[in-house]
Chain A
Amino acid sequence: MPASPSKAGERATRKVDKPRRGERTPFGFWALGVATGVLLGLALPTGLLLAIGLIPSALAAMFDRAPGRWTARSVLVFNLAGLAPALRALWLDGHSLSALSSLLLRPDGLPLAYGAAAIGAALPVIASWAILAVLEARAAVEVARLEQRRAALRETWGSELDAQAATVMPNGGPKSSS
């Protein structure tokens, strides 16, 4: 039975009113659920290994609300890199739950995956510190160059230049502007 015009209009209104993110999130969530279900149905040991091994990535995805979620991505790729040897070992050892259980206790299993994820979480912070240090150094060099230029101009044209030009007060605020 076809929907009545009023119900069709309400749906359309709901579609318009719902945010696009909100619309995609359930789809992604369900898609992940379906994929997980398929994976668990077809390859249970692999699915369990991924589910257990990618817990750091899931936590990172939950807590990283920054645009682009680059930290979560970093955690994910490191987490995957750390989990790859365990996956290979699982598949080479018969792809069974017993192999999975023995694998989980090995040091190149979960510890490696979690350690890699930890590196993936720490690396953005360390990298940003390093980049900030570079940027600050560049800024300091630029400020020094500009101060040097101002000093040279003051040397050439005298202190009247400061009296009329915009100058910077010791606390960084503008003193005057001609």
Chain B
Amino acid sequence: MASQRPQVGGFTVDTSAPVGGFAPAGLPCFRAAGAGGEPAVAVLCRNHHPPRLRAILRLIDEADLPGLLRPLAQDVVVWDGVAVRAVVYEPPPGPALMRAGERREPMREGDLIQNVVRPIGKALLVLADLGLTHRGIRPDNLFRHGNGQVVLGDGFCLPPAFAQPAAFEEPAAAACLPAGRGDGTLADDLYALGVSLVALAVGEWPLAGRDDTSVLRAKLEHGSLIAVVGESRLPGGIATLVRGLLAEDPNRRPQPAELAGWPGTARVRAVSAKPVARASRSLRLGTVEVRDAPGLAFALGQHWAEGAEALRSGAVAVWIERALGQPALAARVRDLASGAPRGGGEPIDGMLSRAIAAIDPNAPLFWQGKALMPDGLGTVVAETLLAPSTPGLPRAALDALVADLAIARWAAVPGERRHDGPALDRAARRYRIVWLGKALGSGPERLLYALNPALPCLSPLVASEAAGTIPALLAALERRAGERERDSLPIDRHLAAFISVQMDGRLDDALASVGAAPTAAEAAVGAIAVYAALQRLHRSPPMPALASLLGELAAPALAQWRERARREQAAAELGTVAASGDLSRLHALFADPEARARDAFGFAQAQREADEAAQAILRIRSGRAAREAEARRLGARAAHAAGLLVLALTLLSLSGV
């Protein structure tokens, strides 16, 4: 790939010059240069872990981004034969403060506050003003030049918090699939900043060497502050700040404006949270002993089969009532469990998911042993549908999650959550309709593109083409049309879904008609209608190759013109019009609505006329007997009249007149 030099928004990416230590989770990162030679770094994203395009576009447009590495451009490029989105950043000012798992000399309190807390506070302030979260605050993503202020690196080239170790996430997010943590809130960034400060102040990666499950359990059992800080000693000012940032109640965490001027702008607030009720005796679920409601919720979610059995048997409700002393919660859990049948299947999953939500309203949505935040569904869908290896959430589980309205039912469980329940309910119902849709332009592919706007079109028909927008897609189709087999339609479910999402559903009917066409020729006419609309709406240049391919495929549909002259004229013009690349004209050859109506009307009229003529011929041919009778009748009358005339003339002549 050394010869590849993709262009991204005016920057040339030098793929022979990789940059290490900038992009997380193994994303390819290379040096790039602008038109004037200004240095930059380009990150090539993965389709199955799509970047946060909305945030990137907002930040590119933002003039002033203190404390944040600025994204300069983004576009879709082809890398290793696959279209992926690339993001160009300004180069980091220096190395990262601390590599993952690295031990370093602890930073001094003044340095931390002056060069870490304040600039990141400013960066979070800007992000909060833009309605964005970063979800990538950790020591290896903080860059500084010499002893200057740090800048926050990339947090947008992967799904939110995808690259965050469990130690840097709140328990609810840490329990989630990496791809399913969702955008989260500012509180999540503040929490990650708190853990980062601990790491920098101690000089050691917090909870290093422990797996995510044990980190999560430690946080649940001991609280975040104790689990993260452990036995380490923090400088006094930092300890106060970290205690606030790691408060279990997000509302008690210092705000970015306070951090930007810390400690002068710090507000006094009680950092002690309401203690979690502990049970008098533990409950064993699988290998875990739980002693409180959050611990129970996470244990149920992670030990799905045992949790379902314990819930159904009533053991959980009894424990909540007697050991935890919460009879109201126990009654609710009993109600939820009472409707579930014995054995496996969806009702068990739904029951357990809602029971967990009832036990701990802060818990994420658990589903078949996996967890995700509702706003992380899009990236989970991308991972499940596109990941080359085993995804976090299997396809069958994802099918059930969407089809069974798990998100809506989870959101409907009473309890204080940061999510908008009615909005989630509406969204879940919409997702279900789309997911189960069989029409072309619907189905899982549609949801994939709808929830992941950063994805380029992944249709095999435009493989190795950077089709991130409709004009780019049309250009790619035009390039590939000449290479395609002449007997296959240049539209598939991925293309249709991509078009449908990009056009906000305005072409749904046209796309569905392509899929529902009874013949290949009619499907080709439908495809011409779709591409003609796209060409017209986006004022795309002529597409003679695509028009030629579609014209060939649709040619049999010319027989639908009833008028022979029109049919022959259309057939004669087909080649010329296709060569012009004007798909609207090509479509008019097949299905101009007004001409079609005239044609149908004329045919019906001709049919009626021919029918009447046939009937008249039949009448005439079968009417000989009647004509003979009429001839006889008229002949006799004529003879009589002639006789009268002869008689009159005879009498006249005899009378001598």
Instruction: Using CB atoms and an 8 Å cutoff, list the residues of chain A in contact with chain B.
Output: 66, 68, 70-71, 73-78, 80-81, 84-85, 88, 116, 120, 123-132, 135-136, 139, 142-143, 146-147, 149-150, 153-158, 160-162, 164-168, 172-174, 177-178
A–B Cβ pairs within 8 angstroms, 13 of them = A74-B639, A77-B643, A84-B650, A85-B654, A123-B638, A123-B643, A128-B634, A129-B631, A139-B620, A149-B613, A153-B610, A157-B603, A168-B618
**A70 and B611 within 8 A (CB):** no
**A167 and B654 within 8 A (CB):** no
Chain A positions within 8 Å of B315 at CB level: none
Q: Name the CB-closest residue of B to A116.
A: B646
Which of B549-602 touch A at CB < 8 Å? 562-565, 567, 602
For the A-B complex, the count of residue pairs with Cβ-Cβ distances under 8 Å equals 160
**B640 and A157 within 8 A (CB):** no
Chain A positions within 8 Å of B609 at CB level: 149, 153
**A132 and B610 within 8 A (CB):** no
**B621 and A120 within 8 A (CB):** no
Bound: A173/B635 CA distance, A: 30
**B631 and A71 within 8 A (CB):** no
**B639 and A123 within 8 A (CB):** yes
**B636 and A124 within 8 A (CB):** yes
Cβ of A24 to closest chain B Cβ, rounded Å? 21
Cβ of A161 to closest chain B Cβ, rounded Å? 5
Q: Name the CB-closest residue of B to A167.
A: B614
Contact of B636 among A74, A132, A156 (CB under 8 A): A74
Most central of A74, A130, A155, A172 by chain B CB within 10 Å: A74
Tell me if B345 is interfacial: C-beta within 8 Å of chain A: no
Contact of A81 among B617, B635, B637, B646 (CB under 8 A): B646
Contact of B562 among A135, A142, A157 (CB under 8 A): A157
Instruction: Using CB atoms and an 8 Å cutoff, list the residues of chain B in contact with chain A.
Output: 562-565, 567, 602-603, 606-607, 609-611, 613-618, 620-624, 627-628, 630-640, 642-644, 646-647, 649-651, 654
Chain B positions within 8 Å of A150 at CB level: 610, 613-614, 617
**B622 and A165 within 8 A (CB):** no
Bound: A125/B639 CA distance, A: 9
**A156 and B607 within 8 A (CB):** no
- Further contacts, 7 of them, CB under 8 A, given A76-B643, A127-B639: A70-B636, A70-B637, A74-B640, A136-B624, A147-B613, A153-B610, A157-B602
Bound: A11/B505 CA distance, A: 96
Q: Name the CB-closest residue of B to A126.
A: B635
Cβ of A138 to closest chain B Cβ, rounded Å? 9
Bound: A174/B640 CA distance, A: 40
Chain A positions within 8 Å of B639 at CB level: 70-71, 74, 120, 123-124, 126-127
The 7 closest A-B pairs by CB, nearest first: A128-B635, A77-B643, A70-B636, A127-B635, A132-B631, A123-B639, A74-B639
Chain A positions within 8 Å of B632 at CB level: 124, 128
Bound: A45/B644 CA distance, A: 25
**B647 and A130 within 8 A (CB):** no
**A84 and B634 within 8 A (CB):** no
Cβ of A149 to closest chain B Cβ, rounded Å? 5
Cβ of A84 to closest chain B Cβ, rounded Å? 5
Chain B positions within 8 Å of A153 at CB level: 606, 609-610, 613
**A165 and B610 within 8 A (CB):** yes
Q: Name the CB-closest residue of B to A77.
A: B643
Chain B positions within 8 Å of A88 at CB level: 654
Given A132-B627, A135-B627, decide whether A81 and B620 contact each other with a Cβ distance below 8 A: no
Q: Name the CB-closest residue of B to A135.
A: B627
Chain B positions within 8 Å of A85 at CB level: 650, 654
Chain A positions within 8 Å of B650 at CB level: 81, 84-85
Q: Name the CB-closest residue of B to A171.
A: B621
Interface of B: prevailing SS? helix
Contact of B563 among A80, A84, A156 (CB under 8 A): A156
Given A131-B631, A142-B620, A166-B614, decide whether A158 and B562 contact each other with a Cβ distance below 8 A: yes
**B634 and A146 within 8 A (CB):** no
**A129 and B562 within 8 A (CB):** no
Bound: A135/B626 CA distance, A: 10
Bound: A116/B643 CA distance, A: 9
Cβ of B251 to closest chain A Cβ, rounded Å? 76
Cβ of B266 to closest chain A Cβ, rounded Å? 86
**A81 and B643 within 8 A (CB):** yes
Chain B positions within 8 Å of A146 at CB level: 613-614, 616-617, 620
**A165 and B607 within 8 A (CB):** yes
Chain B positions within 8 Å of A125 at CB level: 635
Bound: A97/B567 CA distance, A: 92
**A135 and B635 within 8 A (CB):** no
Chain B positions within 8 Å of A84 at CB level: 647, 650-651, 654
Given A123-B642, A150-B613, decide whether A157 and B606 contact each other with a Cβ distance below 8 A: yes
**B617 and A143 within 8 A (CB):** yes
Bound: A158/B565 CA distance, A: 9
Given A127-B638, A156-B564, decide whether A139 and B627 contact each other with a Cβ distance below 8 A: yes
**B636 and A128 within 8 A (CB):** yes
**B643 and A166 within 8 A (CB):** no
Bound: A156/B605 CA distance, A: 12
Bound: A166/B618 CA distance, A: 10
Most central of B610, B620, B647 by chain A CB within 10 Å: B610
Chain A positions within 8 Å of B564 at CB level: 155-158
**B630 and A135 within 8 A (CB):** yes
Bound: A32/B613 CA distance, A: 55
Given A74-B636, A156-B565, decide whether A143 and B631 contact each other with a Cβ distance below 8 A: no
Chain A positions within 8 Å of B638 at CB level: 123-124, 127, 131
Given A120-B639, A132-B627, decide whether A80 and B634 contact each other with a Cβ distance below 8 A: no
Cβ of A77 to closest chain B Cβ, rounded Å? 3
Bound: A130/B634 CA distance, A: 10
Given A73-B643, A131-B638, A135-B627, decide whether A161 and B620 contact each other with a Cβ distance below 8 A: no
Cβ of A34 to closest chain B Cβ, rounded Å? 25
Chain B positions within 8 Å of A70 at CB level: 633, 636-637, 639-640
Chain B positions within 8 Å of A166 at CB level: 610-611, 614-615
**B610 and A81 within 8 A (CB):** no
Chain B positions within 8 Å of A155 at CB level: 564
Cβ of B113 to closest chain A Cβ, rounded Å? 87
Bound: A116/B610 CA distance, A: 52
